[in-house]
Amino acid sequence: MAKYKIAWMPGDGIGIEVMEAARIVLDKLKLDAQYLPADIGWEFWCTEGEALPKRTMDLLRSVDCGLFGAITSKPKQEAQNDLIPELQGKGLLYRSPIVRLRQELQLYYNLRPCKAYPGNPLNYRDNIDLVIFRENAEGLYSGVEFFPVEDELREMMKKYSPALGNFDDVAGSDMAMTTRIVTIRGATRVIRKAFEYAKKHGYPTVTLVEKPNVLRETSGMMVRVAREIHKEYPEIDLWETNIDAQVMWLVKNPENYGVMVTGNLFGDIVSDLSAQLVGGLGFASSGNIGDNLAVFEPTHGSAPKHAGKYISNPNAMLLTTKMMLEWLGEIEKAKALENAIAAVILEGKVRTYDMGGDSSTIDVAEAVAERL
Ligand code: IPM
Ligand code: MN
């Protein structure tokens, strides 16, 4: 029996291509794993009304971790139109499978490192090494939303939050509400992971990125929890910043920052901004991590217009594969893979179009594999 069981989820579009790239390096590394193909993607929405079928969720609960490519998602009406006739008009609702995965499997933090590898022509600047801890199972992604906002609910809420009275002249049918839920449990576990990481990898600071001057309750809770946890890590500085200023400073002085921790939507935004500082989505790896399970995915989407062309940069997926190896405890293999990726970037001979080259997705993976 293989040492690891890995759910293999290519998904849609270029997800399939970058997963082939991942497999090339994993095979070269001779990882002792069984790769179990799992259904996830737009075609399952169209034919089953479920982009993430229950059988995939069950499989995920039985493996060591999952590796995921990308998935196509479309706005509400288009999603309805793509359903097979038998499923039309049944009131099926499309919800992002990746968000479901994160919440239903309690993969409560999203680890998104953004490092400027020397020689990458797309680096905004050298010496950037950011590591984002994004809360991954609550916040504005909680899915607690209202439209229209019923009178009964409004009256009830107004009792507890009088500011809602400012909207008394707006009809409930003209109002939509998305709630940001932060819990002590959610804040504690992600912030603790950020501090642990900073300590383990020698980062001198943890930056909590929130907006407590306006979002008094939710950001306020994040700040309180961070200060509490910080007491256990006196050797690390806690910096507290506001999201708006933070994105500006990240552009101005990215080399000043290291580990950052923030809520779900702020983390979504900060991680794309940070990815662009180190070459864009072609370099953005990520892991959705819980206590006993993790699903790794590059941050990029399925890029339908590039699908089938094998021109996409696989570095995001290869760096994601490196994160997966680390999480499995295969530290040597993870290091070897990162070194090989870095060497190919530095040498600059095998590059996809985004880096100014004309190599294919597979060419890059093979160049990396050759160095392993
Ligand atoms: C990401 C993506 C997802 C998110 C989308 C696809 C739901 O942008 O992983 O960052 O918003 O979290
Ligand atoms: Mn995103």
pLDDT tens track for 207-262: 999 999 999 999 999 999 999 999 999 999 999 999 999 999 999 999 999 999 99
Q: How confident is the model at residue 300 (pLDDT cuts 50, 70, 90)?
A: very high
Q: Which residue has the tokens 């959610």?
A: 186
Whole-angstrom Cα distance, residue 372 to residue 361?
A: 17
Confidence at 95, pLDDT banded by 50, 70, 90: confident
In 3D space, the residue among 297, 253, 266, 284 whose CA is nearest the CA of residue 354 turns out to be: 284
* Inter-residue contact 34 to 67 (CB < 8 Å): no
CA-nearest residue for atom 10, ligand 1, is 268
| Average pLDDT estimate for 126-146 | 97
pLDDT tens per residue across span 13-34: 999 999 999 999 999 999 999 9
What ligand is nearest to the CA atom of residue 107?
1
> Does residue 336 register a pLDDT over 90?
yes
Which pLDDT belongs to residue 75? 84
Hey, how many other C-beta atoms are within 10 angstroms of the C-beta on 4? 18
The token pair at 44 is 């399952």
- Report which ligand 1 atom has the smallest distance to the Cα of 99: 7
The arithmetic mean of pLDDT across residues 326-347, rounded, is 98
Which of the four pLDDT bands, split at 50, 70 and 90, describes residue 134? very high
Separation in Å, CA 167 to CA 154, 170, 174: 10, 5, 10
Strands 4-11 and 259-262: unpaired
- CA–centroid distance, 372 to ligand 2, in Å, is 31
Give the per-residue pLDDT at 62: 98
Atom of ligand 1 nearest to the CA of 301: 6
Q: What does the pLDDT average to over 138-142?
A: 97
Question: What is residue 219's predicted lDDT score, i.e. its pLDDT?
Answer: 98
| Pocket-testing residue among 40, 71, 73, 98, ligand 1, by greatest number of atoms within 8 A of Cβ | 98
> 112 has which bridge partners?
132
pTM recorded for the entire structure: 0.96
Query: What is the 92 CA–ligand 1 centroid distance (Å)?
Result: 21
Secondary structure class of 296 (helix, strand, coil) = strand
Ligand nearest to the CA of 269: 2
Q: Which residues line ligand 1 (CB under 6 A)?
A: 96, 98-99, 268, 299
Which atom of ligand 1 has the smallest separation from the CA of 71? Answer: 6
Q: How far apart are CA 64 and CA 158, in angstroms?
A: 46
Atom of ligand 1 nearest to the CA of 268: 10
Q: Say if residues 136 and 298 touch (Cβ distance below 8 Å).
A: no
Residue 280's pLDDT band (cuts 50, 70, 90): very high
323 Cα–ligand 1 center, Å = 18
- Continuous H helices in 121-217: 151-160, 184-201
167-176 LR contacts (CB < 8 Å, sep 24+): 172/148, 173/148, 174/148, 175/147, 175/148, 175/149, 176/145, 176/146, 176/147, 176/148, 176/149
- Which residues, by Cβ under 5 Å, contact ligand 2, an ion? 268
Distance 309 CA to ligand 2 centre (A): 23
Confidence of residue 47 (pLDDT cuts 50, 70, 90): very high
Q: From 268, 297, 300, 320, give the residue whose CB has the most ligand 1 atoms within 8 Å, as the site to mutate.
A: 268
Residue 162, judged by CB atoms within 10 A of its CB (0-12, 13-18, 19+), counts as exposed
Q: What is the CA radius of gyration of the chain?
A: 22
**pLDDT reading at 73 higher than 90:** no
Q: What is the pLDDT of residue 195?
A: 98
Mean pLDDT taken over the chain: 97
Distance in Å, CA 268 to ligand 1 centroid: 7
Please answer whether residues 62 and 5 qualify as being in contact, where contact means their C-beta atoms are separated by less than 8 angstroms. yes
User: For residue 73, which atom of ligand 1 is closest to its CA?
Assistant: 6
The predicted structure's pLDDT at residue 187: 98
Q: Give the position, in ligand 1's atom list, of the atom nearest the Cα of 110.
A: 9
Contact residues for 163 (Cβ-Cβ < 8 A; gap 6+):
none
